[in-house]
Amino acid sequence: MWKFLHKMASPPYFYKLAKTLAPWFAVPGILLIAYGSFAGLFVAPPDYQQGDAFRIIYVHVPAAYLSMMGYMIMAIAGGIGLIWRMKLAHAVAAAVAPLGAAFTFLALVTGSVWGKPIWGTWWEWGDPRLTSELILLFLYFGYMALRGSIDEVAKADKASAVLALVGAVNIPIIHFSVEWWSSLHQGATLLKTGGPAMDSAMLYPLLAMILGSSLLFGAQLLRRVRTEVLYRERRTRWVRNMILSPEAPA
Amino acid sequence: MNSAAEQTPGLLAGLTATVRRDLLLAWKRPGDVLNPLFFFAMVCTLFPLAVGPSVEQLQFSGPGILWVAALLAMLLSLNSLFLADFEDGSLEQLLVSPQPLVLLGLGKTIAHWLTSGLPLVIISPLMAMTFQMPLESIGVLMLTLTLGTISLSMLGSVGAALTVGLYRGTALLSLLILPLAMPVLIFGARTVSLAAAGDVYSGGIFALAAYAVGAVSLAPYATAAALRISNE
Amino acid sequence: MTAKLSANNLTLIRGERCLFTGLSFALGTGQLLLLEGQNGSGKTSLLRALVGLLELEEGEIVWNGEPIRRARQAYFKSLVWLAHRVGLKADLTLVENLQFESALRPIANTDFNAVLERLGIERLKKLPMRSLSAGQQRRVALARVLLSAADLWLMDEPFTNLDRDGRQLVDEIVGQHLSNGGMCVMAAHQDVEIDAPTQKLVLE
């Protein structure tokens, strides 16, 4: 078991492994998203309260979920890199940041679009989830800005890992405080689908979208980490050998 | 001669010495303490100038404006927490001291709060009166500002340690700390609003106190780690 | 000779450059290690790694049988660091600075005045550091070294800004420290005339 993990931590081994793994994530992911999108748009019945407007949850919920997951991956990878000094972990953290930020942005846009028919406006400060997502976007920007300001890669890795860990500890607190803040104002309808329990015809496409998006996220992350590893190790012997060898390009 | 030291500092010696030294330094440069206070007062003045002097409007938003002004004033002063020591090389000496870096960093942050946060708390009633805040809520304002500025100093010390010596450090520091400071702002400002409206506000006070306790216990470790990383 | 300070196979990478690799040495009591090399050759970086400020890519530094990565506090207790920047507060007086420093690390000699006398700066002790010349400030930094109870002195270009008397003073102080069983690692540009067993490490 330790030998496997040790092997995993080696950049050249991971580089090859990620290449073979990525399609196994991407193909099921795309298939699930295809099913989820179709079923979500055409098969699931309209919501008794929101009509067809609720259908955006099929994009919004996976995006919001992945935006949080992305930050957690960033923080955990950073922590592993910091404590166990694993270079690959730092590469994962660097690679996931823009990906997570993009999904956060997507969650915000879809959340705003969802809100328009319900609130009548493109933005409602009273909605705690939307406000929390916005703060999460700022956290991502701060992380990427810190990374960008430090020239030396090793130093940037360590500093941003500390920041990500501090942010991860604060995220539950931010959520709780924004919930409390919005609860002080009555009258802001929250973004959620109506009904005591979700109809299974509504639920299955949602689960498919969540799972499919996660798999696709994983596939993208693997590819991004590969690129990140290649860049970081560009001066090492194994990269040079790989580029110069006569076999097909990686 | 080199075996037994004639005087070995105790565990807290570094902490108290650091607090004392930074207070002494602030004493020699009183302008550094006054600047954030003037900034606080000026930001408080900006809002009535911008949104108009309507009394109900100002009374309603008073707590929020005061809190945002305090937050910004704290941010302004946080950049210099480690910068001077970084530039003259005395920060390095702290890093190679056998005294725990966690306590040395905590000492500097305590001194920073005493020279930035505490003065804000003391002059806040003055600014609160210009917003026609009811007298009872001024006490709550001072309490929330005390707890809040302590949390902000702690949180800010992590950000200051991460950005010390970086190009455009102040802007980056603000970008890093502001999202993390939002819970403090929310709890602080909204609690004072509740008090001004005569509602129950104890929940907010407890939340602020809990945050402050958490920040004081955990932030110094992150600050110490960040200081080592920034000094490589 | 039992090596108290030893380095095994050190590799240091800064930014994109590999400063040195496979570097090793062993230093025993009473010995001086002299680091020589051109500007930018990595002398300061090696010293900072020895002090514990920089992380090494590979290799280990061992003090008294324990790697310093694990026994940090004990290592810091036994060393004193004289960096290129003096590390003293410009607004505080000499005495205020040294008083602060005595809370940071073990002090061998609480008699400040005698040490300041020796360094020729006793009459300056009430002045803020800002009013002192660069050479005088360097002497105050030397006071930090003299006052400490550290066995290991790590010095980066200690002769900077010093006049001939000052340089002679450094030679004397270090020589005395070494003959009393102390150790020193020094990066220096100029010739050092210290009467003690010396190892030289030249960095390219």
A68 contacts A125 by C-beta, under 8 angstroms:
no
- Residue A13: inside a domain: no
pLDDT at A247: 65
pLDDT of residue B225: 96
List the chains bordering chain B where 3 or more Cβ pairs fall under 8 Å: A, C
User: What tokens appear for C172 in the block?
Assistant: 């004397």
pLDDT at residue A1 is higher than 70: no
- In percent, how much of chain B has pLDDT > 70? 97
Cα–Cα distance measured from residue B53 to residue B48, given in angstroms and rounded to the nearest whole number: 5
Nearest CA in chain C to A150: C15
Please write the tens of the pLDDT for every residue from C156-193.
Answer: 999 989 999 999 999 999 999 999 989 999 998 777 87
**Structural domain for A153, as ranges:** 25-43+52-190+201-240
Of the ranges B28-42, B73-87, B110-124, C190-204, which one carries the lowest mean pLDDT score? C190-204
Confidence category of residue A135, pLDDT binned at 50, 70, 90: very high
Residue A183's pLDDT is: 83
Residue A11 in domain: no
Residue A91's nearest CA partner among A217, A221, A225, A219 is: A225
Cα end-to-end distance, chain A, whole Å: 28
Q: Is residue A246 part of a domain?
A: no
Q: Does A147 touch chain B (CB under 8 A)?
A: no
Residue A125 predicted with pLDDT over 80: yes
pLDDT of C8 over the 70 cut = yes
Q: Please indicate whether, in this complex, the C-beta atoms of C180 and B1 are within 8 angstroms of each other.
A: yes
Q: Provide the 8-state DSSP code for C152.
A: E
Can you give the pLDDT at residue C42? 87
On chain C, the residues whose CB falls within 8 A of the CB of A151 are: 15
Determine the Cα–Cα distance for residues A4 and C186; give it in Å rounded to an integer.
44
Tens digit of each residue's pLDDT (9 = 90 or more) over B20-58: 999 999 999 998 889 999 999 999 999 889 988 888 888
User: Is A196 inside any structural domain?
Assistant: no
**Host domain of residue B37:** 13-230
Nearest CA in chain B to C15: B232
| A45 vs B220, more confident | B220
C-alpha span between C23 and C9 (Å, rounded): 5
Please state the domain count of chain A. Answer: 1
Is the pLDDT at B5 greater than 70? The verdict is: no
Considering the domain boundaries, does residue B56 fall inside one?
Answer: yes
Q: Do C14 and A152 touch (CB under 8 A)?
A: yes
B-interface mutation test, from C82, C89, C94, C111, most B Cβ less than 10 A away: C89
| C13 contacts on A by Cβ (under 8 Å) | 154
pLDDT of A186 reads 56
The residue of chain A with its CA nearest to that of B166 is: A149
Which two three-digit tokens encode residue A184?
A: 């002080």
ipTM of the complex: 0.92
For residue B145, being part of any structural domain is answered with yes
More confidently predicted of A200 and B167: B167
- Residue A153 resides in a domain: yes
> What is the value of pTM for the model shown?
0.92
Using a pLDDT cut of 70, give the percent of chain C over it. 99
Task: Count the domains in chain B.
Answer: 1
Kindly state whether residue A9 falls inside one of the protein's structural domains.
no
In a domain, B4, yes or no: no
Cβ <8 Å between C55 and A152? no
Give the number of C-alpha atoms closer than 13 A to the C-alpha of residue B56, restricted to the C-beta side: 0
Instruction: Identify whether B8 is part of a domain.
Output: no
> Burial letters for B104-125: b for 16+ Cβ neighbours within 10 Å, e otherwise?
bbbbbbbbbbbbbbebbbeebe
Residue for token pair 């990595």: C42
Helices (H), A51-152: 57-84, 87-119, 128-149
What mean pLDDT comes out for the span A217-224?
96
Do the chains contact at A159 and B229, CB–CB below 8 Å?
Answer: yes
